[in-house]
Structure 1
Amino acid sequence: MKNISINTQLTVFESLSELPQNIQQLMQQAVTIRKKAYAPYSNFRVGAALLLDNGQIVLGSNQENAAYPSGLCAERVAIFHAGAVAPEAKIVAMAITAASDTNQTQSPIPPCGACRQSIAEYEFKQEQSIPIYFMGEIGNIYLSDSLKNLLPFTFDKNFL
């Protein structure tokens, strides 16, 4: 028998003002789009903003449905939209923010498992890591330099 140790390293920013200027602006756009989320069932709103290497910013917010599996998370809305409108562009940064209508989110909210897998697909596709900044409504902002920090055992086309 052998043990495997996995270490994850994240950078913690205590406020938006500590972020690079372009990431502050990206996170502000994520906050703005978060407020437009369609979340009548969970009352939990998520916004995502992607910065592409062509300078374009692509936004997404969660979109719920009474038939729960039919909804889509903000991260996948943004990533799939980027893939549709700018298929050759690379994602150079992702900003995610989440807030509840019922209580203030004070901890960074990471992407769910399905979103992690979708982000992984784009890291593989573009052969380049995607820095992921994520936060709650207030408080610290976490930076993961790559999706691999959040999903160390990724599934990709090499397994097919």
Structure 2
Amino acid sequence: MIAYKDYTSVILNVNGEKRKAIIKPSDTLLRVLREELGLTGAKPGCENGDCGACTILLDGKPVKSCMMLAVEAIGMEIITIEGLNNTEIQQAFYEEGGFQCGYCTPGFLLNSYALLEEKPDAEDEEIKEWLKSNLCRCTGYEGIKNAVYSAKEKIKER
């Protein structure tokens, strides 16, 4: 195990690019993404893992970046909302009105993207379960659910 102390220079693989950051061992991945790398799509919300506004993909799996240290992500592939481009889920969120204020949208998009990549034929219960990990204070979740189902159909058409 590598021991980190004081400020340390690290290389993180973010959105397909090697990015250098100067961090403290206690820095969360969320803080480093936003404040060191300027990637502000992952949002601080509850900062205790409940709301999902800070969701990113780590080696393809949704992770709440407020709950992990940046040093834990060294050597892993990090995808933020800034790295998700031209996907069916993004188009479906737009078409189905799966957002209102937009604060929670990046987390929902990344979580839904990961679900449909892992399980393109996800059943209703699986979709409901995955959506429980993110909170939205503005919508009634209908647009979000409709977007996931719409994206699921678009993926089948690929």
Specify if TM > 0.5: no
Which structure has more strand as a fraction of its residues?
1
Comparing both structures, which one devotes a greater share of its residues to helix?
Answer: 2
TM-score by length of 2: 0.30
